[in-house]
Structure 1
Amino acid sequence: MEFHGVIFIILFSLVLVLESDGFPMNDLINKLPGQPDVNFRQFAGYIDVDENVDGRSLFYYFVEAEKDPMTQPLTVWLTGGPGCSSVGDGFASVGPFIVTKDVHGLQKNLFSWNKVSNLLFIDSPIGSGWSYSNTSSDYDNGDDATNTILLTFMQKWYEKYPVFKSKTLYLAGSSYAGHFVPNLANALLDDNKQSKQSKFNLKGLALGNPMLRNKLDDLAKFDLFFFREMINNSLYNQIKKECNVIDEDNYFFNLKVVWSATCKNLMEQAILVAFKTDANNYFPLKLFDIFRDPCAENEQDLNLGKQVVELITEVDMCSPLRAQCYFNLPEVQRAFHGNRTKLSYRWKGCFTANFKYNKADMDLDMLPALKKLLQQSIPITIFSGDQDGIIPAVGTLDHLKKLAEELNIKLTKEETWSFRNQDGGSKYVFGDLLTFLTVKGGNHHVTASRPSQALDIFTNFVINWMH
């Protein structure tokens, strides 16, 4: 009996060691289907964000850094939409794997951000990816509710992963994450002021093609078309004249302004001229990348194992679609511990049928949120692809110049930045804390279209900003 008692104590001690390294082993992913061997761990599962366990729950995917994870920072990645899955986006952008052409396997992402950081992907808001609520009204999302739930998620995630409580934290994301990330950053800092317990050790933000002032971004499309000689001087000047109802100084007060019928007609005409097409043949996804064609493949063909198109450019425009196919494989969902609610519809990378978002919130001014962060000495790095027609870099630069003016921060550097001894794009540095970079050849999804440059920016301008 004594011998058996010793064995029991040893086994019990081993279990304690497994659980006491600060990781929930129930959420450990043994291996994803078709995944190459790697030397880092992956975890995925749900964080229940209210008292009712079956109420609201956000799905997450956590990846350790490739080397020495306990000495590396933690980076939270939130994608936009609003309504896109950050977890799914990770498999077409900054995560450790990219879905293979046959959509049943994975290959290593040579430019994953887990080379320099631990990564946490969160499906947010409710209704994105595998995040859900049993209350139907929770699918009517908005900025405030999303932020409240994300703050609770972060508090509870740290309880589940206590080893990360004191670690350096970065928040990053793309597109509508221009709302999510600054709002969450301010919520974490406010929580630090109120909490007597552990603090969120927030050290910086990284935003790709962020939506900051949506109505002005709409107008900036036509600045981009004009500068790229896609529309002529006459049409451009007509738009500037007829659509001149919003300006940088009065953005907040002009939120409810609607474009006149003449303005709308001119905008529609300019888009058709820019893409040399007519209304019947115009494809809105062209704005995602003004020079590359959208993905020509479809999910049905991919599921049948067909590879419809050879990769013509150096950018794989179909990687998000392939990720969508991969996430619908039953064995993938089991490996992820996902789809707890057994969805009655196919998993989608963006915009499931029951997802809604407050349109008024989409037009909100995010400069005050960025201003508050800069005033608390939080560094912000923003990067934008110069081929993005959804949120053009020219508009983002105008927003940041306005922000710097309000804070009385001077533009201290304006130069090209170098990537592998070549011109990577333009760099604008405002004071000590705000940096904006354009990325040559990057589209609305810089982390997918220019992944090596995105990793370089994250490493050298975000993590190593002080050096």
Structure 2
Amino acid sequence: MLLLLLLFLGSFHGCSSQSIVRSLPGYDGDLPFYFETGYIGVGEQEEVQLFYYFAASENRPEDDPLLLWLTGGPGCSALSGLIYEVGPFTFDLKAPHTYPPKLVLNPYSWTKVSSMIFVDAPVGTGFSYSTTQQGYDSSATKESMDLYEFMRKWLQTHPKFSTNPLYISGDSYSGIIVPMVAYHISNGNMEGLFPRMNLQGYTVGNPMTLADSDINSRVEYAFYKSLLSIELYESARHHCNGDYINVNQGNAACIDDLKLINKCLENIFIGMILEPDCATLSPEPRRLLRRELGSSRDEDFLNFTLKPRDHITWCRSYNYLAIYIWANDESVQDALHIRMGTVPKWTRCNYSISFSENVNDTVDYHRQLLRRGYRGLVYSGDHDMVFPYLGTLKWIGLLNLSITSEWQPWTVDGQVAGYTIKYNDTVSQLVFATVLGAGHTAPEYNPKQCLAMIRRWLAHFPLTSHL
């Protein structure tokens, strides 16, 4: 069966494509913006077929920036970022019982100010696939090179966007991938490779960047949010020497402190500390200091919803039920021009991909990009304990940038939307911002504030302005 499947997939070998999508099941009428989907083959034999969604700016697509958007995971579909975070349409969650699930326009889509390409990467994510079994093996290094090749080929088939300002963007685990892709593009430009890309900078939200440090910061964050006592926090910091991941198993005092910390936090949803913890629905125990979101996996939730319960606590995972129904519907896949048979079942996050996290520190990529004059925006939901903003500020400190604008609030409609700080070196600028009350990831929780943030930053305005 596997051989037959690969032979079938091979019939699409080397075939890049793009199709205009004028309407979608669940949306009334034609889409009021330009929307395109397609595949671009990468690799020596183009065995990896990366699927993408492209939405043109709703403002001035001929002039507005072009953003490449990467959803995290690794293995989470671009469609999740498109629908639940920054894309032009979303589900009407107030009408959950319609079939197909009802789509509505997103008033806070980032396509209000930019054109956006959403890519299912790495291979095995979303609707991306390989024509060979070996092609499914990937890593952070390979994914970043695949995406660089993707962008070169995409701009060759869309040359009218080659002069638009280009930004590489993404969140969560893509905090590792985004600066790597931007760095490859910068190198390609320096080497004179075609097409030259008008790279201006990058954005990362709630990012993994320096993995162990990011995860270690969860303990400090929990203390600052009053989830741990000062006695327990100080004891753990002393006994564990500030390292709660690489623990010597002979260090009994540290292990005992970590057991108490996990007990304090076992019912906290680390994706958004104020929301119910749906991981308790899963039979698999959860630990605070492992590298995953800490929420229940979608399949656990979907199985749970099938069980009769008299009283079901609301969980954020409820919002994801609609996307499983919608994306696996044949009429939807036909409208999106999916190559039938290439992906047996669409999943929001594919945790079974063959992927090596062979890069766990991208601080130097940030350093090199900033030295070359590129702009950076780093933002964090301040209620996110997956990759807390405290850890993000620590790795930013390693860049040794000068602070040109001290920590201060930024506002939307007269209300504090978060806090921001601006850094400069001799040629570049980095802006960091928190998003007040947002979790992992910020645009899913506070879309209005995040649109205001990206609008100001892309326009080269301070976040503290009122653009």
TM superposition score category, shorter chain reference: 0.7 to 0.9
Q: Is the counterpart of residue 292 in structure 1 residue 289 in structure 2?
A: no
Q: Is the counterpart of residue 142 in structure 1 residue 139 in structure 2?
A: yes
Q: Is the 8 A contact 2:83 2:90 kept in 1?
A: yes
Counterpart residue number, 1:328: 328
Q: Which of 33, 53, 64 is equivalent to 2:56?
A: 64
Aligned ranges for residues 94-109 of structure 1 at < 5 Å?
94-100=86-92, 101-102=96-97, 104-109=101-106
Q: Secondary structure at the match of 2:59?
A: coil
Cα 1:64–1:340 change in 2 (3 A) is: same
TM-score, reference length from structure 1:
0.82
Q: Secondary structure at the match of 1:146?
A: helix
Counterpart residue number, 1:258: 246
Q: Which moved more, 1:161-170 or 1:236-245?
A: 236-245
Cα 1:162–1:334 change in 2 (3 A) is: same
Q: Distance in 1 between matches of 2:435 and 2:234?
A: 27
Q: Is the counterpart of residue 433 in structure 1 residue 429 in structure 2?
A: yes
Q: Secondary structure at the match of 2:347?
A: coil
Cα 1:375–1:106 change in 2 (3 A) is: same
RMSD: 2.8
Counterpart residue number, 1:415: 408
Q: Distance in 1 between matches of 2:220 and 2:357?
A: 24
Counterpart residue number, 1:348: 347
Q: Distance in 2 between matches of 1:339 and 1:99?
A: 24
Q: Distance in 1 between matches of 2:105 and 2:231?
A: 49
Cα distance, 1:372 vs structure 2:
0.5
Cα distance, 1:328 vs structure 2:
1.1
Q: Secondary structure at the match of 1:395?
A: helix
Structure 1 gap segments, 5+ residues each: 1-23, 248-256, 278-282
Larger RCO: Structure 1 or Structure 2 (Cα < 8 Å, ≥ 6 residues apart)? 1
Q: Is the counterpart of residue 273 in structure 1 residue 273 in structure 2?
A: no
Structure 2 gap segments, 5+ residues each: 1-15, 282-297
Q: Distance in 1 between matches of 2:358 and 2:240?
A: 19
Counterpart residue number, 1:198: 195
Cα 1:339–1:379 change in 2 (3 A) is: same
Q: Which of 113, 116, 123 is equivalent to 2:113?
A: 116
Q: Which of 415, 440, 444 is equivalent to 2:440?
A: 444
Cα 1:320–1:414 change in 2 (3 A) is: same
Cα 1:293–1:34 change in 2 (3 A) is: same
Cα distance, 1:216 vs structure 2:
0.9
Map Cα deviations across residues 125-160 of structure 1 (whole Å, 9 max, x no partner). 111111111332333321211111111111111122
Map Cα deviations across residues 229-286 of structure 1 (whole Å, 9 max, x no partner). 1110121112212332659xxxxxxxxx8323344553343132135x5xxxxx7xx1
Aligned partner letter, 1:71:
D
Cα distance, 1:174 vs structure 2:
0.4
Q: Is the counterpart of residue 44 in structure 1 residue 37 in structure 2?
A: yes
Q: Which of 354, 358, 365 is equivalent to 2:356?
A: 358
Q: Is the 8 A contact 1:141 1:358 kept in 2?
A: yes
Map Cα deviations across residues 67-86 of structure 1 (whole Å, 9 max, x no partner). 33222221110011111112
Q: Is the counterpart of residue 238 in structure 1 residue 235 in structure 2?
A: yes
Map Cα deviations across residues 349-394 of structure 1 (whole Å, 9 max, x no partner). 11243x0322443xx2211000001001111111101111110011
Across the two proteins, how many residue pairs are aligned to each other? 414
TM-score, reference length from structure 2:
0.82
Cα distance, 1:334 vs structure 2:
1.0
Q: Is the 8 A contact 2:140 2:357 kept in 1?
A: no
Map Cα deviations across residues 379-438 of structure 1 (whole Å, 9 max, x no partner). 1111101111110011111111221x2xx5235321111122111122111126111111
